[in-house]
């Protein structure tokens, strides 16, 4: 089962469109062991409400070797729980270097099966990521329009739309898949643009970051979904993991709440 298929299957079975971000911040904890325990507890407590999880690689890298070990543990725990893993690394580089990133993050070595990628180096540089994802039943999520206000500096003037066209073009090579291997990142903070990007990339799985701490609201996101309520995942990170300090039950409640708000938005 591919990443896109697994996520969509969870959406249909469990009625959830929520992607739970797991971004452990060292300054929230007494020490590395405390961070590890809490992060794994949040994963387990929020799993019933998540279509997938999204570890942000930056937070694991910031912890050095211990962080990379924890990332492997998080991926293994997610696998045990049946949760697809989307690694948020925003990698991008040329030729054989892109191939090395794809080998590292999309070959199953670290337990992840999907990766966010940055297209700034050019469309040719997406190829090794896409090929590796296809060969392993994984997925790449190409940055189309990021959730931050400053995205317009280099993504404005039609650039986001050109990237969206490339995502559609790449997915045309997989006519059999409901949702092919190439997804797209479109900030949940741009609710007015979601329907347009949905139309530009009709079969792409959309990742919508920015729910919660960044200010996006579930009720504004219905334009990103296909009629059956599939095709998009809205992600929340701090708003789940640190919903009320380090209270794990509050994390579970926040995930349940985001799930319910997304479902309610789709029923209107």
Sheet with strand 52-55: strands edge to edge? 52-55, 18-22, 232-236, 206-209, 182-186, 139-145, 114-117, 86-91
Determine the Cα–Cα distance for residues 63 and 210; give it in Å rounded to an integer. Answer: 24
Marked catalytic residue, from 54, 90, 145, 267: 90
Nearest-approach distance from CB 97 to a copy of itself, in angstroms: 5
- Stated as kind and residue range, the H or E segment containing 143 is strand 139-145
Phi-psi domain of 60 (left: phi exceeds 0; alpha: psi -120 through 50; beta: other) = alpha
Instruction: Report the residue number, 4 or 87, with the smaller CB distance to a copy of itself.
Output: 87
For a copy of itself, give the closer residue by CB, 160 or 171. 160
Judged by beta carbon, residue 59 or residue 197, the one nearer a copy of itself is 59
Nearest approach in angstroms of CB 234 to a copy of itself is: 17
Q: CB of residue 157 vs a copy of itself: minimum separation in angstroms?
A: 8
Q: Distance of alpha carbon 122 from its chain centroid, rounded?
A: 21
Greatest CA separation found in the chain? 50
> Is 90 in a helix, a strand, or coil?
strand
CB of 96 to a copy of itself, least distance (A): 8
C-alpha 49, offset from chain centre? 15
If the CB atoms of residues 88 and 261 are measured against a copy of itself, the closer one turns out to be 88
The residue (of 24 and 183) whose beta carbon lies closer to a copy of itself is 24
Q: What is the smallest separation between the CB atom of 10 and a copy of itself, expressed in angstroms?
A: 25
Q: Which of 74, 43, 77 is nearest to 57 (CA)?
A: 74
Q: Whole-angstrom Cα distance, residue 212 to residue 258?
A: 9
| Residue 69 falls in the annotated catalytic set | no
199 within 8 A of 173, measured Cβ to Cβ: no
Interaction site with a copy of itself (CB under 8 A): 23, 25, 56, 58-59, 61-65, 67-69, 72, 90-98, 100-101, 103-105, 109-110, 118-125, 143, 146-155, 157, 159, 162-163
Distance, first Cα to last Cα, the chain: 31
Residues tagged active-site: 90
């Amino acid at each position: 089962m591919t990443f896109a298929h697994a996520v969509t299957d969870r959406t249909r079975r469990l009625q959830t469109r929520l992607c739970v971000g797991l971004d452990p911040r060292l300054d929230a904890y007494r020490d590395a062991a405390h961070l590890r325990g809490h992060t794994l507890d949040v994963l387990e407590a929020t799993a019933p409400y998540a279509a997938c999880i999204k570890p942000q690689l930056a937070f694991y890298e910031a912890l050095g070797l211990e962080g990379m070990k924890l990332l492997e543990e998080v991926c293994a725990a997610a696998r045990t729980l049946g949760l697809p893993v989307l690694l948020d690394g925003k990698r991008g580089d040329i030729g054989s270097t892109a191939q090395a990133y794809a080998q590292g993050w999309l070959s199953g070595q670290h337990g992840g099966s999907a990766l966010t990628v940055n297209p700034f180096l050019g469309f040719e540089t997406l190829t090794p990521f896409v090929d590796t994802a296809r060969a392993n039943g994984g997925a790449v999520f190409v940055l189309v329009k990021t959730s931050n206000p400053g995205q317009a500096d280099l993504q404005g003037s039609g650039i986001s739309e050109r990237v969206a066209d490339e995502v559609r073009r790449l997915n045309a090579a997989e006519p059999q898949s409901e949702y092919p291997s190439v997804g797209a990142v479109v900030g949940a903070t741009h609710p007015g643009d979601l329907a347009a990007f949905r139309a530009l990339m009709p079969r792409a799985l959309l990742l919508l970051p920015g729910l919660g701490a960044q200010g996006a609201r579930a009720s504004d996101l219905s334009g990103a979904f296909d009629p059956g309520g599939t095709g998009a995942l809205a992600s929340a990170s701090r708003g789940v993991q640190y919903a009320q300090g380090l209270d794990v039950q509050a994390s579970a409640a926040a995930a349940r709440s985001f799930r319910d708000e997304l479902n309610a938005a789709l029923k209107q």
